[in-house]
Amino acid sequence: MKKDIAYFCLECQGVKAEHQHPAVKLDPNDIPERKWTVVSTDLRSGIPKSRNRHDKIRVVVDRLTQVAHFRPAHQSRSRS
């Protein structure tokens, strides 16, 4: 049985079509030289309102140190 399975597996792999795109060489991102020169920011919404009526959180992350700051925010009001 082991011989049949091994033979079958080798035969299958020879006929299988490749369904994935060919891999491309990935270029690594440059490492920042100083803190807080490269940051990412995000605005998270859909959270319950706090006592101060904050219903969003702004997240700012330093890429070098991976330190995150979280700031409460209000829903912006549109002017008509």
Residue 60 falls within a domain, yes or no? yes
Q: What is the mean pLDDT of residues 1-16?
A: 63
The confidence score (pLDDT) of residue 49 equals: 87
The count of structural domains within the chain is 1
Residue 22 falls within a domain, yes or no? no
Give the amino acid at 15: V
pTM here is: 0.56
Which residues in 15-29 are b (16+ Cβ under 10 Å) and which e? Answer: eeeeeeeeeeeeeee
Residue 6 falls within a domain, yes or no? no
Structural domain span for residue 66: 38-75
> In terms of DSSP bridges, do strands 56-62 and 39-45 run parallel, antiparallel, or are they unpaired?
antiparallel
Question: pLDDT per residue over 48-79, tens digit each?
Answer: 888 888 899 999 999 999 999 999 988 765 44
Say how far apart CA 44 and CA 31 lie, in whole Å. Answer: 26
